[in-house]
Structure 1
Amino acid sequence: MVSWKINLVYVPPIVTVFSVSKTIEGGTQLINKWQHIAHNVTEDLFINLLITPVLVTFNSLFLGTADQLVKIVSDEFPELGLEKKDCSEMSWIESVVYHSINLKGESIEALVERRPSPKAYFKVKSDYVKKAIPEEALEEILKWCLHENLIMAMEPHVGKMSEIDEAATPYPHRGGNLYIIQYLMGWDDDDASENHVGSIRRVYEKMKPYVSKNPREAYVNFWDLDLGTNDNACCTSYGQAIRWGRRYFKGNFKRLAMVKGVVDPTNFFWNEQSIPPLVLSSSY
């Protein structure tokens, strides 16, 4: 039997959201300030960052009123120039729709409608940042996004995330990470050519000096087959899979492989980057 326990947390009746965009020119200073303060302003405030070839956009959810939010941001991040007119108060469930890519502007009833998502073609990669990237390097990163027509999303990764030990759950990317980066390249047809995926791979390689190391960590839900793949269901060894397994799960990978060895020793359930069974011999 498998059980799943969820601890609910209090959310106030009113939350506040904003989405503020600035042109990419001069965006370096804003991004630099964000990476120094976004993770430790207050646990009630979440501000992520989206970099496109022309804009830098700051998206926020705050567990409180607009007046409270403007006061906090004015004190901690005055460079953003946030005003009350930029903010919208709503219920938490309405904020889910507000921040949804496909549902923004609709009512909360859209959350229970079973709509097929439009077909999309894209490549995603990920990184974790443990030390703030130097401002001069941020300037180069913005140029890469512009030149390669690439989107980068950054989300702070401290707060409650850091209070949980990295060995407590399979997800290990806890204390010590300032934020996660998602690299995204999309296109309009099914031609996953070098012209499309090459851009994201080039930027990913250039980012190597500024992100986590040994291993260079990655988020398993941003499935990245560039990190390696299983050959087939029966022939991939633990030694092979550790190439991507340590990036996704760090020190938890061996324990997960041992669990797989108990519940699915024949590797019936598998995919290109599934965890292989590690069956330990009882003989000495």
Structure 2
Amino acid sequence: MMHLSLYFTVVAIALLFSFTSSSADTHENFVQCLYNYPNSGTSISKVVYTQTNSSYTSTLDSSIQISRFLNASSKPLVIVTPLVISHVQVTIICSQHHGMQIRTRSGGHDYEGLSYIAKDPFVVLDLKNLREIKVDVEKSNAWVQAGSTIGELYYSISQKSKTLGFPAGVCPTVGTGGHFSGGGYGFLMRKYGLAADNVIDAHIVDVKGNLLDRKAMGEDLFWAIRGGGGASFGVIVAWKIKLVPVPSKVTVFRIARTLEQNATEIIRKWQLVANKFDQRLIIRVAMTRVNSSQRGKLTIQARFESMFLGRVDQLIPLMQKRFPELGLVKEDCTEMSWINSILFMKAGLVGSASNETLEVLLNRTQAVFLTFKGKSDYVRKPISVVGLRGLWRLFYEDEARDASVEFAPYGGRMDEISESEIPFPHRSGNMFHIHYAVYWQEEGDEAAQRYINWLRRLYKYMEPYVSKSPRAAYLNYRDLDIGVNNNYDYTSYRQASIWGLKYFNNNFKRLAKVKVKVDPQNFFRNEQSIPLLESE
């Protein structure tokens, strides 16, 4: 990672422009603003794509990971893929002068497409060329540019150390820029917390075009971007993260149980023990509809996926004591390196082969694209057997053919961190969180609405069994159903609280205070950006 001083290629940037913003400004003026800037680095003209550019569509689509937005009518007037930080700085300045909004894209996994869709005239700032990763094994840390994917990060760590890891997500194509800024959880969560819990410095370009590190931005802004969503406050261009120790061998398993194999009772027991296990152990449950062993019938399958930071001979006694209902035996388990466990979990997520080489982690696009909609919940009391059986009934409906519901356990380190330590508030008292997803292959708005309506009915059904006041949600599983800001008009803190309290609970007000301080004109905004807090 370059030293911070080398990033400052823009000096007194705001003084270089004397334009006044007006509705007459066009994207041509914006592009000319970019080109006229006396950049001492690589020419920005090489990374600017207007809608008439032959590479515009391929550049736009290259990082759209949610396929239902591939043909969205809302498209950026310009795409900028910066090669150096000064390209980010001048894009922010010129956008403000010429009435353009900014959508910042790291990996393109925003569940509602907000990193590349907007209703106002906008530019996409695609960070895919800012992917430098520097791992310092001696200090157990790394600098990661925000265009890097977590797969690229994992690969880079593995090339330097077999006993260091990082607690981020399972899907390797997810970008670190958005993932870390929203929290970021994975199979190391119960031992080491979230990705955001392990960020120790960052570089962000603010609304004035200034590049700031942790010291320069101050502790309030540094707090806000670790779980509060960085896109509300500026453009995060790099993270400094603390790497965590992992054993040379971990143990993984994946076991499926159907209703005929007593899955309901096993899940009931899982709820009672999963958040109380040894911190080294995490067992996630994914439920889907499958064909039954009885010909012509359907059933529900629960797939238990686990990683244990130790050897199989340590895991089996632990499971026999705390969770014998699963019936785990040594033959179900495999010992492997931590980095190979990433491939194992990836295979369970996307259906890829578990014997892939590590280089597959460097792929920035998914092999399979399905259209889907997701939602989230948090559970503080066990869901009753009656509640589970009602969930199963919804799975038998036509739209649930490719639906899934996942339970991810908390406890361990997650219980030890204060809910106000970072903006992510879902800590002690949360047994597990739920990820709902419905997938479909049919084309057209009518089909999409049918599947989305099924998911909304599922979400409504689960209301009695999940957290209340607020009904909590996870920012990285963004869901515009829970509330949005006004499109063009001012959005009050009170109105934004409809969705904001669900994501951030008591941390929402502090986020709004930080927003007023660092972006008082609300330039960095979207349908669920942090609002300005009115004077009290």
TM-score by length of 1: 0.93
The one-letter code sitting in structure 1 at the alignment partner of 2:284 is N
Q: How many residues align?
A: 281
User: Share of identical aligned residues, percent?
Assistant: 45
Deviations 1:8-36 (A, max 9, x none): 33211000100000113331101001000
Q: For residue 438 of structure 2, what is the aligned residue in structure 1? A: 185
Alignment partner of 1:2 is 2:213:
yes
SS state at 1:165 partner: coil
Aligned to 2:378: 128
What is the alpha-carbon distance in structure 1 between the residues aligned to residue 391 and residue 428 of structure 2?
25
Is 1:59 matched with 2:59?
no
User: C-alpha deviations, 1:210-264, integer Å up to 9, x for none?
Assistant: 1100000000111111111122254222111110000000000011011111111
Matched, 1:114 2:369: no
Structure 1 segments unaligned to the other structure (5+ residues): none
Aligned residue for 1:52, secondary structure, equals: strand
Contact 1:24-1:53 within 8 A present in 2 as well: no
Offset of 1:194 from its aligned partner?
Answer: 2.8
* CA offset digits 1:120-145 (Å, max 9, x no partner): 31111111000111122212222222
- Counterpart Cα distance in 2 of 1:202 and 1:113: 36
SS at match of 2:396: helix
What's the secondary structure of 2:303's corresponding residue? Answer: strand
Partner residue in 1 for 2:487: 232
Larger Rg: 2
Task: Map 1:84-233; keep pairs closer than 5 Å.
Answer: 84-100=330-346, 101-102=349-350, 104-105=353-354, 106-116=356-366, 118-147=368-397, 148-149=399-400, 150-192=403-445, 193-232=448-487
Decide which moves more: 72-81 or 6-15.
6-15
Measured in 2, the distance between the counterparts of 1:124 and 1:114 equals: 21
Contact 1:52/1:146 (<8 A) preserved: no
Name the CA shift for 1:179/1:270 in 2 (closer, same or farther; >3 Å): same
Q: 2:255 aligns with which of 20, 28, 36?
A: 20
Residue number in structure 2 paired with 1:81: 327
CA contact (8 A) 1:24 1:142 kept: no
Quick check: 1:129–1:181 contact (8 Å CA) kept in 2?
yes
Quick one: higher RCO (CA 8 Å, sep 6+), 1 or 2? 1
Q: For residue 196 of structure 1, report the CA deviation from its aligned partner.
A: 0.7
Whether the 8 Å contact between 1:36 and 1:132 is mirrored in structure 2 is yes
Superposed CA deviations along residues 165-219 of structure 1, whole A, max 9, x for unmatched, are 0011010000100000011101114535331101111111111111100000000
Aligned letter for 1:247?
A: K
Gaps of 5+ in 2: 1-211, 215-238, 291-300
Equivalent position SS for 2:318: helix
The alpha-carbon distance between structure 1 residues 269 and 28, as it changes in their structure 2 partners (threshold 3 A), is same
Give me the CA root mean square deviation. 1.7
Equivalent position of 1:42 in the other structure: 278
Partners of 1:262 and 1:279 within 8 A in 2: no
Q: Could you report, residue by residue, the CA deviation over 1:85-139 in whole angstroms, capped at 9, with x for unpaired residues?
A: 1111110011111101245521212112334554331111111000111122212
SS at match of 1:99: helix
